[in-house]
Structure 1
Amino acid sequence: MLGTIVNVVLIIIGSMIGSIFKRGMKESYQDILMQGMGLAVTALGAFSISKHMGNSQYPVLFIVSLAVGSIVGEKLDMESRFKNLVSRISKGNLAEGLSTAVLLFCIGTLSIVGPIESALNGNQTYLFTNAILDLITSMVLAATFGIGIALSAIVLFCWQGFFYLAAGYVADFITPELLTEISIIGGVLILSSGLSILGVKKFKTMNLIPALLFPVVYLTVKSLIGF
C-alpha cells in the first residue's frame, strides 16, 4: 500500500502548509480565496460531467441514481450526522470543506483504479500521480478551511485500502462503463459542493452520496442476469 501511504502523507503535509498560510491571511484575503476555491470546485465538477456524459451508455442512470440516492441519504440524515460529528472537532465551516475534500480526493479514476493496480501489478503510478494532485488540492483547501482538512486523509486511506484489499474480487467489476457513471455522479456532487461554497445554494451534498452506489448495484445485477 505504498502509493496510498504516500497519498495520505502528502494530504497531511499539504493541509499543514495550507493552514500555516491561512493563519497569516487577512480576512479579506480569506474571503476571496473562498470564492476562488468555490469557483475552482464548481469548474471541476462541470468538467467531470461534460467529460464523461458523452461516453455514458445509460444517459438516464445518473438521474435515477441521484433521485434514489437523495432519498436514502435524506432518510439516513447523513448531512446532519456528519456536521454534528465535525462540530465536535471544530467550529465554522469545516464540515463543508471536509465533504468537498472527500469528494475531490476519493471520487475519481485515479483513486479507484490506483489501489487495484497497486495490489495486482505493483504499479504505483496512478497513486503517485493522485498524491501530487491531492497535495496541491489539500494546500488550497486547508488555506480556505483550516488544518481540519487533514482528516480527509483518514477517509482516503479507508477508501483506497478497501480497493487494495479487495482488488482480486472487485477488479472485474470496475469496468470503464461503471467508472463513467460514477464520474458523472461524482461530478454532480462536486459541482453542488462548489455552489455551496460560493453561497449560491446550500446543498445537502452528503445526503446525495448514496447516489454513487446505485450504478454499482444496477450494473452488477445487469451483468449477473445477462441483461
Structure 2
Amino acid sequence: MIGTIFNVGMILAGCTVGSLFKRGIKPAYHDILMQALGLAACMIGINAVVSRMPNSKYPVLFIVSLAVGAVIGQALNLQQRFDRLVGRFSGGNLAEGLATAVLLYCIGSLSILGPIQAALKHDYTFLFTNGMLDGITSIVLASTFGFGIAIAAGILFIWQGGLYLLALVLQGALSTAILDEITIVGGILILASGLGLLKIKQINTLNLLPALVVPPVVIGIMQLF
C-alpha cells in the first residue's frame, strides 16, 4: 500500500497548490486550463484504447460493455444521484470536476495495473509514476474546480486498496485479457469526460461506469464453458 499512499499524498498536495492558485487566476485562465485538461483527458483515453485494442481477444466486448453498463447506470440514475450529493456540500461545477478526477485517477492503466503489480510482485514503479502524474493533474483540477477535488483522493484510496486486496486474494485469476478489456472501456470513459470538459458533447459519464464491471463478468462466464 506504500504506492497508493504516495499517490493519495500527491493528489492532496496538488489540490492544495491548485486551490491557492485559484484565488489569483482570472476567469480566462480558468477556461484555458479546463480546455488543456480536456485535451489531456482525450489523449489519455485515446492512448488507453489504442494501446490495448490490438491485444483484445474479444473485439466487440467493449461495445457490449458500454451498452449494458449504460442501461444499468441509467436505471440507477448514478449521474443525478452524484450531482445531488455533491450539490449538498458545494455549489458551482464541482460535480463535473469530481467526475473527471475520479475517472482520470482511477481508470488509467497505471492506476489499475499499479496495485496489482504491487500486490503480486512488490513493484511500486507504476504507482509512483501514477502519483507524479496525478499530482500535476490535481493542480490543474483544483485551480479550476477548487480544493473539493481532494474528495477524489479518498475514492482513489478505496479503489486502489480494493484492487490490491483483490489481487492478493485472486492471485492468478486476474488474467491479462480482463485487464485489457477493462482498460479499453476505461479509456473510452476518460475520452467521454474530456469531450465534456471541451464542451464538445456533455455525456453522463457516471451513468456509464457500470460498463467497467461487464468485461470480468462476461469473460469469467465464458471461461466456464
Alignment TM class, shorter chain as reference: over 0.9
Asked whether the equivalents of residues 117 and 123 of structure 2 are also in contact (C-alpha less than 8 Å), the reply is yes
1:80/1:220 CA distance change after superposition, 3 Å: same
Residue 95 of structure 2 corresponds to 95
Give the letter for the 1:114 counterpart: G
Runs (4+) of structure 1 moved beyond 4 Å? Answer: none
Question: Matches of residues 98-137 of structure 1 in structure 2 within 5 Å?
Answer: 98-137=98-137
* CA RMSD between the two structures: 1.4
Gaps of 5+ in 2: none
Moved more, 87-96 or 166-175: 166-175
Aligned residues: 225
Deviates more, 1:104-113 or 1:89-98: 104-113
* Equivalence map 1:8-47=2 (5 Å): 8-47=8-47
In structure 1, how many angstroms separate the alpha carbons of the residues matched to 2:44 and 2:168? 31
Alpha-carbon distance, 1:156 to partner: 0.5
Q: 1:69 touches 1:214 (CA, 8 Å); kept in 2?
A: yes
How far apart are the structure 1 equivalents of 2:119 and 2:49? Answer: 29
**TM-score of the superposed pair, with normalisation by structure 2:** 0.95
Aligned equivalent of 2:159: 159
- The 5 A counterparts of 1:178-217 are 178-217=178-217
Q: 1:110 to 1:171 in 2, by over 3 A?
A: farther
Counterpart amino acid of residue 195 in structure 2: L
In 2, Cα distance between equivalents of 1:173 and 1:138: 33
Q: Give the CA deviation at 1:163.
A: 1.8
Query: Cα distance, 1:116 vs. partner?
Result: 2.7
For 1:74-93, list aligned pairs within 5 A.
74-93=74-93
TM-score, length-scaled by structure 1: 0.94
Give the conservation status (yes or no) of the 8 Å contact 2:48–2:108: no
